[in-house]
Amino acid sequence: MHTLTPLALLTDSSAVTGVQAVDGGVLSLAPLMVALPLFGAALLLLTGRRSDRWGPWFAVAMSSLSFVVGLASIVTLLGRPADERVLDLSMFSWISVGSFHLDAGLRLDPLSLTFVMLVTFVGTLIHVYSIAYMAHDPSKRRFFAYLNLFVAAMLLLVLADSYLLLFVGWEGVGLASYLLIGFWNHRPAYAVAAKKAFIANRVGDVGLLVALMLMFSTFGGVSFSTVDAGVPHASTGTLTAMGLVLLVAACGKSAQFPLQSWLGDAMAGPTPVSALIHAATMVTAGVYLVVRSGAIYDGAPDARLVVVVVGAITLLFGAVVGCAKDDLKKALAASTMSQIGYMFLAAGLGPIGYAIAIFHLVTHGFFKAGMFLGAGSVMHGMDDQVDMRRFGGLARYMKVTWVTFGLGWLAILGIPPFSGYFSKDRIIEAAFVPVDGAPWRAWVFGTIALVGAGITAFYMSRMFFMTFEGERRWAPKADGEPQHPHESPKLMTVPMIVLAAGSVALGGLLAAGGFTTWLEPVTGHVSHEAGPVLPAWLIVTLTLLVVVVGLVLAWRQYAAAPVPLTPPPGSVLTRAARADLYQDQVNDALLVEPGQHLTRSLVYLDRQVVDGGFSGLARFVVGTGNVVRRVQTGYARQYAATMLLGLVILVVAVLAPRI
């Protein structure tokens, strides 16, 4: 049995010991990683229908070339000593106002280039998959333009050397996700889902904007170097406020509590979008932001604790919701929410968890993207149906999809030696380590992580058994014809096979290759061993035990027993989980309805008080004018009589006091 290496506490919170400038060579080509897919998006959008035939493959080429540049950069970085692996590349002077000057530049370090590899490699596979998946869509050229735009924005986000340039990529990712989720916006439900995702992310963006303001007022700049250098001189209260608003931004982008309600609805978009955005890239941006801001969180233990709490709540929230979903894609979305909750929990543990969070992020990107593409393959063979109660028995007809999806399923369960075992189990172990001198936290968060693993095993096994095992429960096609499930074409199955290979071997390879050591120039070196409150071997054993229990329970209910076509009423918790634990109702009650009442009150105030005051004054002036106008008759005799009357009154007024 594999025993995890004991975790340790960091003695020096400053992870980056020195930042160097890029002095030429391969690393000077780094801007091409962003420029190539951005050029692809612009060309496909500007050429219009003329690029319908070659546009998709051109988009694949741009993403592939970006991967090649990223791979060359990471090889070059590996050839440098560990203390020389954090480099800044200045591209041009961006903002210069008074004493404030900021260059647009890229930071090339193990963290950013790890994300580059994930985004470009998985993104390119999804581009290839999409060629077959979107083959008959008349607007496929526009779809691939949006895919390239998303890749470019995501790469800018992770490569930026300042929070302000990161914000540009952050907003670009939000725009691209809106365009992709609502790609089929002729269907009202899809357009609504895109707007919901867009608005929820804008709420989170307010947090990042406030953080930028706090950084500028506190440190006088917003570059990573300036902020990291200024953290030791800032007050704990300021750093706590900064960490909390950064967390708000991270929650919006990564669908974490309480800004998680948009993720399930976002499954309305094409399935490759779900694989790219909602499994491997955009929803992990929040984790990147927290880890990149590690210096701030290390100086604000309270803010870091809130990150752990948010992660713990979300991992249970997503797991419970996933247990009740019959929609294949929405069940996977709930799983994504839960797994990112694990990453937030790890990142919130501070130095002992930063690298582990990124480790699980990378392995999760492979097996979850593979399962989303597998869901798309099932939909391709089942007339776009997504109701798992109408599946069953597909293993005999879609063998490649069954095997690749199954390997991803075993990986997310954490069955050794699959990838999830090496990454998620490290998070569970880290959760049992006392942090900031509070052993009770280790017991609370460790238990939550352990219980989450058991629930994950149940709902993911439920999904696998309902889809591929048991008796077939197929519903007729939309035109009334019987279903004829079939395997997807090679352009779809080959990317699934590659991702499945990552589900099997990537975790072990990264663990053996010292992945957490590779990230040390950013996340810091861990020393002074401080193990978990339970022995590592016992944590591993308990984790595998709860996973097996969850798997067996799912097998008894959804493989060994018939699956009803209509879901039973279920318990109160089951009904709540089907309704996403009433997250939309809570948002309506706390945000939407009070906002509507406030808006109506302001409209009433504007119309009745502000406009009413000016309108009343205008009516008074008009009325006075109407009264005065009546004395202007145009008759000379009347004017003469009025003048005489006025003269008499004047004379009386003058002479009366003398009489």
440-478 in b/e form (b: 16+ CB < 10 A) is ebbeebbebbbebbbbbbbbbbbbbbbbbbbeebbeeee
pLDDT score at 659: 65
CA angle 77, 506, 449 (to 5 degrees): 110
| C-alpha to C-alpha distance for 129 and 198, rounded to whole angstroms | 26
CA angle 389, 394, 400 (to 5 degrees): 135
Q: Which residue(s) pair with 633 in the sheet?
A: none
Q: Which residue(s) pair with 526 in the sheet?
A: 10
pLDDT score at 608: 81
**The pair of three-digit structure tokens given for residue 55, joined into one six-digit string:** 């546009």
Within 10 angstroms of residue 434's Cβ, the number of other Cβ atoms is 17
**H or E, element range at 528:** strand 526-529
Residue-wise DSSP of 202-246:
HHHHHHHHHHHHHHHHHHS--BHHHHHHHGGGS-HHHHHHHHHHH
| C-alpha to C-alpha distance for 554 and 454, rounded to whole angstroms | 11
Give φ, ψ of 526 to 5 degrees. Answer: -95, 125
pLDDT score at 529: 56
**pLDDT tens track for 382-440:** 999 999 999 999 999 999 999 999 999 999 999 999 999 999 999 999 999 988 777 88
Helix pair 285-292, 236-254: axis angle to 10 deg:
160
**In the chain, which residues have pLDDT < 50?**
1-16
| C-alpha to C-alpha distance for 482 and 253, rounded to whole angstroms | 41
| C-alpha to C-alpha distance for 355 and 15, rounded to whole angstroms | 12
pLDDT score at 525: 80
For tokens 């069953």, the residue is: 392
pLDDT score at 246: 97
**pLDDT tens track for 438-471:** 788 899 999 999 999 999 999 999 999 999 999 9
pLDDT score at 552: 97
**H or E, element range at 10:** strand 8-10
**The pair of three-digit structure tokens given for residue 2, joined into one six-digit string:** 């594999």
pLDDT score at 527: 64
